[in-house]
Amino acid sequence: MNINDKSNPKPYVPNPERYNTMQYNRCGNSGVLLPKISLGLWHNFGFYDSFENARNILKKAFDLGITHLDLANNYGPPYGSAEENFGRILHKDFKAHRDELFIASKAGFDMWPGPYGNHGSKKYLVASLDQSLQRMGLDYVDVFYHHRPDADTPLEETMHALDLLVKQGKALYVGLSRYSPQETIEAQKILKSLGTPCLIHQSKYSMLDRSVEPELLPTLLDEKIGSIVFSPLAQGLLTDKYLKGIPEGSRASKDNTYLQAEEIPKTIEMIQKLNEVAQNRGQKLSQMAIAWILTQPAITTVLVGASSPKQLEENLLATNNTTFSNDEITLINSILKGA
């Protein structure tokens, strides 16, 4: 080994204390425990991002007890590159720790050209998971999701495809993403009849988007399905990062279709007020936003994104204070209603 070769640094030795501080919740009525906070690889892990930064975020996550990592076929950009980079990092740093990780992938959005690279057919889902496994260098994923409902494919076909992948040993569990309460109930009925019940449901949930509260979350509790919620920080809006404008390199500063820059002035007054509440609780706004979600009994795990190890470390401190007084809840609700 050439000691000057930067691609061959000291092997990664995970923090031996990693399981002492993170708390784990049972996912629905399954045998699976998931960390209260999980990490998503939608942004910051593609070929256009820094590989070393991605690697450091993953090491930080694992050191902090985050065992659940969320991927999808189309994460990047370009599509597939987050899985490919993740596979390289897994091989370099986490080879000895595969059984300590709970890895998710998904298919449901456009992935490759032609009629078989999108939506919910068996043809697409089976081929896509094969491709994902190849990119990540894995024999199986822990959970495979249908990424979004597809009204044009019979639900039976999509659920049969998920069940088939479990029976083939390519996924241990199945998940549903963005399914409405009614679609979830129907899908779960089919999955149960096949002997492969839905483990987990993935949906968007934050202080700024509470649409899951009245119906979806109670449905998941009734159906005993775990709940993982994405964009808990509204892609960064629910942090102190935009209080003084749009910093260079932030998601809103990038020329893309994700967090639109025009969202900032629309919400800034509310964000400032929420930031004050967080400060009075002795928390950062990002921590309060995550803690607030964790008060919901249906939530198994909050799925955050991070562009640096520091952000992740900061976000995890949310679990230190997840208790809200009645006055705080009233105040937060009134601020959010003013949106």
Ligand X SMILES: NC(=O)c1ccc[n+]([C@@H]2O[C@H](COP(=O)([O-])OP(=O)(O)OC[C@H]3O[C@@H](n4cnc5c(N)ncnc54)[C@H](OP(=O)(O)O)[C@@H]3O)[C@@H](O)[C@H]2O)c1
- The helix/strand count (H/E) of the chain reads as 11, 10
Burial 92-104 (b: 16+ CB within 10 A, else e): ebbeeeeeebbbb
CB of 6 to ligand X, least distance (A): 25
Q: Which of 27, 35, 42, 208 binds ligand X (CB under 6 A)?
A: 42
Tell me: does residue 311 bind ligand X (CB under 6 A): yes
Q: Measured between alpha carbons, how far is 312 from 43 in angstroms, rounded to an integer?
A: 14
Residues 267-296 close enough to bind ligand X by CB under 6 A: 286
Tell me: does residue 157 bind ligand X (CB under 6 A): no
Q: Report the DSSP pairing between strands 33-35 and 37-40.
A: unpaired
Tell me: does residue 41 bind ligand X (CB under 6 A): yes
Closest CB to ligand X among 143 and 234? 234
Residues 59-78 close enough to bind ligand X by CB under 6 A: 70
CB of 4 to ligand X, least distance (A): 32
Give the residue among 149, 244, 253, 236 at the shortest CA–CA distance from 201.
149
Tell me: does residue 118 bind ligand X (CB under 6 A): no
CB of 203 to ligand X, least distance (A): 7
Q: What is the DSSP letter of 10?
A: P
Closest CB to ligand X among 12 and 75? 75
CB of 275 to ligand X, least distance (A): 12
Distance of CA 139 to the CA centre of its chain: 21
- Taking CB atoms within 8 Å and a gap of at least 24, the contacts of 324-331 are 324/291, 324/292, 324/295, 328/277, 328/281, 331/277
Q: Segment near ligand X (CB under 6 A), from 14-22, 115-123, 210-218, 231-239?
A: 231-239
Q: Are 187 and 198 in contact (CB under 8 A)?
A: yes
Please provide the DSSP assignment of 103-159 as one string: EEEEE-S--SSSTTSSTT-HHHHHHHHHHHHHHHT-S-EEEEEE-S--TTS-HHHHH
For 244, residues 6+ apart whose C-beta sits below 8 A from its C-beta are none
Closest CB to ligand X among 8 and 320? 320
Tell me: does residue 315 bind ligand X (CB under 6 A): yes
CB of 58 to ligand X, least distance (A): 12
Q: What number of chain residues touch ligand X (CB under 6 A)? A: 30
Q: Which of 85, 118, 188, 239 binds ligand X (CB under 6 A)?
A: 239
CB of 109 to ligand X, least distance (A): 8
At 247, list the tokens. 């910093």
CB of 304 to ligand X, least distance (A): 4
Interacting residues toward ligand X by CB under 6 A: 40-44, 70, 147, 177-178, 202, 230-236, 239, 241, 250-251, 286, 303-307, 311, 314-315
